[in-house]
Structure 1
Amino acid sequence: MARRSVATIIGADGARQAAVISAVACLVTLLAFADSDTPAVPILAVAAAHVALGAAAWWTSGRHGALGGRRAAGVGTAMLVLLALTSWVFDGFASGVGPLYVLVFAWFGLHCPVRSLLAAAPVAAIGYAGSLLLADAPTRRVLSVFVLVPIATVVGLLIAEYVREQRALRDQLEIRERWRGALMATLAHDVRSPLTSVTGSIEILQDDESLPPAYRPLLTSAMRQARRVLRLATGILEVERVEDGALVLDRRRVAVASIGHAVAQLTQPESVLVDADPGLEIDVDPERIEQVLYNLVSNALRHGRPPVVISAVALPGVVEIAVEDQGDGVPAADVSLLFDRFSAADHSPHSVGLGLWIVRILAEAHDGSVRYEAPRGGARFVVTLPAATPVTDVPPART
């Protein structure tokens, strides 16, 4: 399980952020021991109230999830009331409390409607000015309420407007993503059926001995391109299955060399070499691993230089399949991004950055992995997969 950063933890929702603000306010309140003549009991009582509010907010986060609506407004109002008491125990020394007011209004802007933020402004003004009056603060300090509260309110409003724009953009992106997913899935489904008919027809023509020899290269090219489009459609469906958690593997014993030769025929047979022991077998879903090697070989042909070599080596319990080209390799800055979805490492105008992500997902679905190497220049991608379990002869039963 990946470790979460502090920013991720406290930024997860408004309740946790409120808890952190309350903790800071508690520490500021305790500073009153050094900066005021207020007795210890009121200081400790206000500090305890901050702790209680922070604990309640954190508990709410774990119990009920993110704050919203009236609960968020209630927590924000409680923070403002406690800040007013903090100003009072400071004997009207407001410089330590003023930044906290701005912080609370920024929190309002992040998590509350604008009407709640505006309603909080008079609460903050009354609490702030009232605490200074009770502390017999100078008039000039009391009048600072007309500077602090408007500034804090404007900060909250600016943040609220930014949040509103970001949420609207997020909603638009979610709608577009759902539309894109539905469109791509529909196209993929609709493309596969006619392509199956096309490839079947081409195969019938290729088996026709009366076909003029001059037409056979054309049929071979047509078959290759039809299978390429079919493979792209299959890749799109794989993405949808992974996202829906519906990926099911049909594991069988299969020779690495046979999959490598099939991929070579689907891409550029004259530029792809297969260097694997014909007897080396793996325990995988053949169609999915063919998709893995197809994506790697296609990338090698697009970004590198031929020949592209598919090789395999047996290790204890696993088989490592490598796809290597003779190109310039991957820039060091892009290596960490290679297997991410919509990877920015793929600068090709004809790619959307899903190919290597699909490779990683399918390898991991087989309890395997994929990594990048650059041992002698060029690019080398190594897929580790479980080896086929050796078949042992069962001795005949005694009679």
Structure 2
Amino acid sequence: MGDISVFRILGSGPQAAARQAAALFTLAGALAVLEILNEPGNRHRLLIVAGCDFGTALLGLLVRWRRSSPALLGVLGFAVLGFSTWSFGGVATGTGPFLVLLYAWAALHFPRWILAAYVPPAAASYVTPLVLTHQPPVVVGSAFILMPVALAVAFLIEGHARHLREDRERLERIEQWRAAMIGTLAHDVRAPLTTIQMALEELRDQVPEPSVWMLDSALRQTARMTRLAEDLLDLHRIDSVGHLKLDRQVVAARPLVEEALSYVRSAPVTADVDDDLTIWVDPARFEQIIVNLVGNAVKYGRPPIVVRITEGRLEVRDHGPGIPDALRSSLFSQFAAGGPEGVGLGLWIVRQLAEAHGGRAVAEARSPGVAMVITFATP
């Protein structure tokens, strides 16, 4: 038994193709039933046509289709169209449009050779009932217009669909490479960092007091790099399972900001945070948000740089040239363009961490400069 959910009609692959065909035939059957209201005298014929449509739709839902086998549903569809035209005495009002629709469906899922192979059954389903019902030559000859048009439309759709599939497959390969790179980098970096940290801790106990601050600074940066490697692993897990687990705590905001700013010493940064303010966050990850935003402001903006925290809101403001409106909406995208007007992975990480905290990340224009604003949930 196949997947019989009629609501899952989008996608690609044989089962998606069968579901879409089932949706088309269900629509055709429903229209045949409604037509009874206009033509009650043809009730029995319309019910037979509707039964054929519904039966084909059910076949599409129930069978476990493989590779290009759902193309057989198109052949059945042509047969139903031919029967419908014959049973109504050669009236082909709905045959032409539905034949083109079947071709469009096939073009989304099957290669060109199948579209070409459809020509004989499609032409037969259109012409045969017209001949059997003794339609004039001009009506029969309409097939010489309909079939080339249907085939041309199908070839255009097939070419575009194939191009989109190739692009998607290429993006999937790039994404697999990126995920493997991040996971490998995070794993491979942690081991040497642990060794470096142990060596620095041993040296700290042996150096003269005036040099201790240098080792303390090196230890802080080593700890910072270790947390970044762990964060990369967490972000890798986001891609795999779709969420990031936080260790949220009620912490004092000002000491957290000052600790984060100790990693950024290349420009003056002011912390505008009340001494008694507490926030409910994951300290390590919220610190990473601050460091990334301040680092971005130092690199692309101009001082003064101000970090301001209020209830449920973090703002990092610089007084630089600002960011163009067209670029602000994409700043927090993954792998946004680098350079003087762009950023790389850092702000995408900020956005992921903001969303994990129940908030969002936006860039707001200021005069002068820009403010990176992070909202986060409060207890």
Report if TM-score (shorter chain) is over 0.5. yes
Alignment of 1:350-365 (within 5 A): 351-352=343-344, 354-365=345-356
Letter matched to residue 40 of structure 1: N
Structure 1 residues 336 and 54: CA distance shift in structure 2, 3 A: farther
- Match of residue 394 from structure 1: none
- Matched to 2:105, the amino acid is W
Change (3 A) 1:361 1:176: closer
Number of the residue aligned with 2:176? 178
Counterparts of 2:330 and 2:81, CA distance in 1: 46
Distance 2:143 2:258 in 1: 78
Partner of residue 371, structure 2: 380
Identify the residue that residue 237 of structure 2 maps to in structure 1.
241
Stretches of structure 2 lacking an aligned partner (at least 5 in a row): 1-6
Work out whether 1:327 is the aligned partner of 2:320: yes
Question: How far apart, in 1, do the equivalents of 2:208 and 2:36 lie?
Answer: 102
Classify 1:167/1:375 alpha carbon distance in 2 versus 1 (closer, same or farther; 3 Å): closer
| Equivalent position SS for 2:372 | strand
Secondary structure, in 3 states, of the residue corresponding to 1:266?
A: coil
Give the SS at the match of 2:118.
helix
CA 1:306–1:15 in structure 2 vs 1: closer, same or farther (change >3 Å)?
A: farther
The CA distance in 1 between the partners of 2:86 and 2:197, in whole Å, is 83
Task: Give the direction of change, closer, same or farther, for the CA distance of 1:258–1:212 in structure 2 (3 Å limit).
Answer: closer
**Paired position in structure 2 for 1:14:** 17
Q: 1:358 deviation in Å?
A: 2.3
- What is the 5 A alignment of 1:56-205? 56=58, 60=61, 68-69=66-67, 72-88=70-86, 91-94=89-92, 96-112=94-110, 114=112, 116-198=114-196, 201=199
Superposition pairs of residues 268-279 of structure 1, within 5 angstroms: 268=265, 270-279=267-276
Q: Specify which of 34, 40, 43 is matched with residue 42 of structure 2.
A: 40
- For the residues of structure 2 that align with 1:197 and 1:277, how far apart are their CA atoms? 39
Q: Is the 8 A contact 2:183 2:236 kept in 1?
A: yes
Per-residue CA distance 1:261-300 (angstroms, 9 max, x = gap): 2222222353222122333222332111111112222222
Q: Which moved more, 1:269-278 or 1:85-94?
A: 85-94
- CA–CA distance in structure 1, aligned partners of residues 346 and 52 of structure 2: 52
Contact 1:29 1:46 in 2 (8 A): no
After superposition, the C-alpha distances for 1:38-93 in whole angstroms (9 at most, x for unaligned) are: 952365236624762586379x3xx889x654662232223212222343356545
Give structure 1 stretches of 5+ with no counterpart: 1-7, 389-399
Identity percentage of aligned residues: 37
Give the alignment's TM-score, normalised by structure 2.
0.76
Matched residues, number: 368
Q: Which of 24, 49, 52 is the equivalent residue of 2:54?
A: 52
CA RMSD of aligned residues (A): 4.3
Scaled by the length of structure 1, the TM-score of the pair is 0.73
